[in-house]
């Protein structure tokens, strides 16, 4: 019964996707009002059509271009994963340290709030100047976003560890290191794990924004988008 229900959901999803693609393919280029110039249901200049996109995809994947599409995608994925990994590890450590130390949390609070309030996109030129046009600048940008998501979650998690559990562990003779390892870190990790899914999406956003400006040498899908804008080749 459960399998049938799941198959039904998938069938609906595929049907909706096919309906969208078919409508997109056939409505593109058809004029909404026949005598009005340039008024289409879907303007081919801006959004192209699925068949043309598929042809362009095959061309960009081939060796006829300077940098094949798969290499660009690989560069984006690589930067995203590195930014994500470095962001979650540093965010977790910083959140745990500040979450367990009232004094450190009070001291660093204004700096963290100030840096987090800065729009990351404003930092792109500076980060590109400091770290160059390669992979590192994109990783740093992704890190600067992921770090704060993980940091705030871990910080909150470290603050909300059950005090009774810590007292019980201490009463049973556990050392501070053992309390950290067996009580605080496991309790905090649940909060950190909850921030992983939004973090990967934001890491990807950071990398693509970084590629808009600094993608020349390493490529990347953000660079491909900006290149298309430069040649007014928005459709395909």
Partner 1 sequence: MMVALVVLGLIGIVMALGIRQIEVRLLRWRPEYQKR
Binding site for partner 1 (CB under 8 A): 47-48, 53, 56-57, 60, 69, 72-73, 76-77, 80, 186, 189-190, 193-194, 196-197, 199-201, 204, 208, 221-222, 224-225, 228-229, 233-236
Q: How far is CA 21 from CA 24, 27, 98, 149, in A?
A: 5, 10, 50, 36
Q: State whether residue 40 is helix, strand or coil.
A: strand
Q: How many CB atoms lie within 10 A of CB 86?
A: 17
Nearer to partner 1 by Cβ, of 63 and 103: the residue is 63
Q: State whether residue 215 is helix, strand or coil.
A: coil
- State the nearest-atom distance from the C-beta of 52 to partner 1, in Å: 8
Nearer to partner 1 by Cβ, of 123 and 221: the residue is 221
Q: State whether residue 231 is helix, strand or coil.
A: coil
Kindly report the backbone phi and psi dihedral angles of residue 79, in degrees, each rounded to the nearest multiple of 5, phi listed first. Answer: -65, -40
Nearer to partner 1 by Cβ, of 136 and 204: the residue is 204
Q: How many CB atoms lie within 10 A of CB 26?
A: 12
- Using CA of residue 113, residue 115, residue 121, residue 122, what is the dihedral sign? positive
- State the nearest-atom distance from the C-beta of 17 to partner 1, in Å: 12
In 3D space, the residue among 143, 157, 135 whose CA is nearest the CA of residue 88 turns out to be 143
Identify the helix (H) or strand (E) that includes residue 228: helix 221-230
Nearer to partner 1 by Cβ, of 73 and 169: the residue is 73
Radius of gyration, alpha carbons of the chain: 24
Nearer to partner 1 by Cβ, of 60 and 112: the residue is 60
- State the nearest-atom distance from the C-beta of 233 to partner 1, in Å: 7
Q: What secondary structure letter does DSSP report for 218?
A: T
Q: Are 212 and 226 in contact (CB under 8 A)?
A: yes
Nearer to partner 1 by Cβ, of 99 and 215: the residue is 215
- State the nearest-atom distance from the C-beta of 51 to partner 1, in Å: 12
Q: Which residues pair with 42 in a beta bridge?
A: 28
- State the nearest-atom distance from the C-beta of 168 to partner 1, in Å: 16
Nearer to partner 1 by Cβ, of 168 and 228: the residue is 228
- State the nearest-atom distance from the C-beta of 206 to partner 1, in Å: 13
- State the nearest-atom distance from the C-beta of 234 to partner 1, in Å: 5
């Amino acid at each position: 019964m459960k399998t049938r229900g799941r198959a039904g959901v998938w069938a609906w999803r595929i049907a909706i996707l096919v309906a969208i693609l078919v409508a997109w393919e056939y409505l593109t280029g058809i004029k909404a009002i026949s005598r009005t110039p340039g008024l289409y249901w879907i303007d081919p200049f801006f959004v192209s059509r699925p068949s043309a996109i598929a042809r362009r995809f095959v061309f960009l994947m081939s060796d006829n271009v300077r940098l094949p599409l798969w290499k660009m995608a690989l560069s984006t994925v690589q930067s995203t994963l590195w930014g994500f990994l470095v962001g979650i590890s540093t965010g977790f450590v910083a959140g745990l340290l500040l979450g367990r130390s009232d004094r450190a949390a009070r001291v660093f609070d204004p700096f963290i709030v100030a840096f987090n309030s800065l729009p990351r996109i404003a930092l792109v030129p500076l980060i590109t100047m400091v770290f160059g046009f390669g992979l590192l600048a994109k990783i740093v940008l992704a890190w600067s976003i992921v770090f704060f998501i993980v940091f705030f979650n871990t910080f909150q998690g470290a603050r909300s560890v059950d005090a009774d559990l810590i007292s019980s562990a201490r009463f049973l003779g556990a050392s501070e290191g053992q309390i950290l390892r067996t009580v605080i870190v496991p309790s905090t990790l649940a909060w950190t794990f909850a921030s992983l899914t939004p973090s990967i999406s934001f890491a990807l956003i950071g990398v693509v924004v970084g590629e808009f400006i600094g993608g020349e040498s390493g490529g990347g899908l953000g660079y491909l988008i900006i290149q298309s804008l430069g040649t007014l080749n928005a459709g395909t």
